[in-house]
Amino acid sequence: MIQVLERAENILVYLAENRGRAVSLSEIADTLGMNRGTCANILKTLKELDLIEQISYRSGYALGRKIYQLANAEYDPYRLKSLIQPLIDSLCKEVNENVMLTVIRNDKRIHLYKAEAKHAIQAKVIYDEMVVWEATTAKVIIARYSDDKLNDFLKLAGMPGRHWPEVRTKEDLKRQLADIRSCRCYTVINNHFACMATPIFKNNEVVASIGYYLPDMRLTAESKKFLEDRLAETADKADSILNQNI
């Protein structure tokens, strides 16, 4: 292997192993046993190719957007979590309900992060991973997909089938998703539990959702309005942070 390509690969592997934080030039060079000038030149080229990004002059480097696009992802989920986690914690503290940060990975709903309330009676989230069609927090993401992206997703995940009984055809699915899309915060109550969710965006592309999970006995008309307002405000803050950082 050409030496410079091997060094570039080593840099990308090291940044991947340290996702969730920015890594300085000196750390990369010293850890990989490279001359700092050589390392700086390789980093410059990788940055020009959008394979890495420089978070700031002081904090260092992280994997770039193109790496995630090549891996069929639009963003670094670890970095998304680190950026949004403070908002989730703050929201949980303010409303005292369980709050989740959710993404879709392949055909599954994944919780990147959860903040738990301190109520004596709580709705416990048992599974961090589940079929997308069963999850309110996933449906609000899918509802914001473009037609092309929805078609591509259906090739991967298939139609909901038994996981969404109201949906039998693709037209049924589109109508249901349009109804979800019309809500700033979408709420589902089932088996005495309520889930409320809203999407978050990066450059007008949906990347994740934020949601609550709570016993429905606490969801009065007044509390629902309060929770919706706080959730929407948090989502707006998340959008702003993501547009500046990812």
Which string of DSSP letters, residue by residue, matches 9-32? HHHHHHHHHTTTS-B-HHHHHHHH
If you search the block for the tokens 């978070």, which residue do you land on?
55
In this model, does residue 50 exceed pLDDT 90?
no
Listed residue (228, 233, 190, 201) closest to 212, CA to CA: 228
Alpha helices in 71-205 (DSSP H): 77-95, 136-142, 147-157, 170-181
Among left, alpha and beta (phi > 0; psi -120 to 50; other), residue 22 is beta
Rounded Cα distance between 196 and 175, Å, is: 19
pTM recorded for the entire structure: 0.74
Q: What is the average pLDDT across 217-233?
A: 94
239 touches 200 (CB < 8 A):
yes
C-alpha 174, offset from chain centre: 23
Domains detected in the chain? 3-70 (1.10.10.10), 77-245 (3.30.450.40)
In this model, does residue 70 exceed pLDDT 90?
no
In this model, does residue 55 exceed pLDDT 80?
no
In this model, does residue 244 exceed pLDDT 90?
no
227 touches 97 (CB < 8 A):
yes
Listed residue (83, 100, 81) closest to 92, CA to CA: 100
Per cent of the chain over pLDDT 90 is 62
Question: What confidence tier does 163 reach under pLDDT thresholds 50, 70, 90?
Answer: very high
Per cent of the chain over pLDDT 70 is 93
**CA geometry: angle 65, 68, 72, nearest 5 deg:** 135
